[in-house]
Amino acid sequence: MEMEKGRKNGKYQSVVIFLKAQLSAQFASLVDFLFTILLATLFDVYYLHATFIGSVVGGVVNCVINYRWVFQSSGCKKVHVAVKYILVWGGSICLNTWGTFVMTEWLTDMNWVNGLLGQYIDNVFILSKIVVAVLVALFWNYHMQRLFVYKNHHIIKRLLKKCNEQTNIDKEDEL
């Protein structure tokens, strides 16, 4: 009974963390999209550069919110979180930027799609950015942040512990 209660509580916590992460991601995406669209439409920045800059600004917002509110990673050193976040974020920026580029170029090469979307959307890249951002958020960002960035893995301590355990086993085998 106690174990079952613990599992339910663990599942509940996982759902709460997932929902908080999605809320944080949505806010960061809003910032990302605002920067991207303003840069591309008002300042005539090439959509690919605007996408990159928007991703950078949104990523900073997301990292701060996730550290303080979503994953509550006070047990992790900020420097370690920052380094791991930059690695994951780099992958995210590449996936978002190149995914948006590939999808936009693919859609604009299709005359019927470009004509249809052109009636509703001034810049086809915005649709591409939305689709790619959702896919990257669900399949890359959340999982990498949950499993890697905001965890204190203590890798060196674990390796030393395993070495010590192996040494003790070897000593016992000799006796």
pTM of the model: 0.67
pLDDT at residue 127 tops 90: no
* Residue 34 CB partners (closer than 8 Å, separation 6+): 54
**Stronger pLDDT, 6 or 147, i.e. the higher one:** 147
> What is the tens place of the pLDDT at every residue in 81-122?
889 999 998 998 899 889 999 998 888 887 776 666 666 666
What's the domain count of the chain?
A: 1
> pLDDT tens-digit profile of 2-60?
555 556 678 888 899 989 999 999 999 899 989 999 999 999 999 889 988 998 899 89
User: What is the span of the domain harbouring residue 11?
Assistant: 2-174
Residues belonging to the chain: 175
> Three-state SS string across 87-142, please?
HHHHHHHHHHHHHHHHHHHHHHHCHHHHHHHHCCCCCHHHHHHHHHHHHHHHHHHH
pLDDT at 105: 87
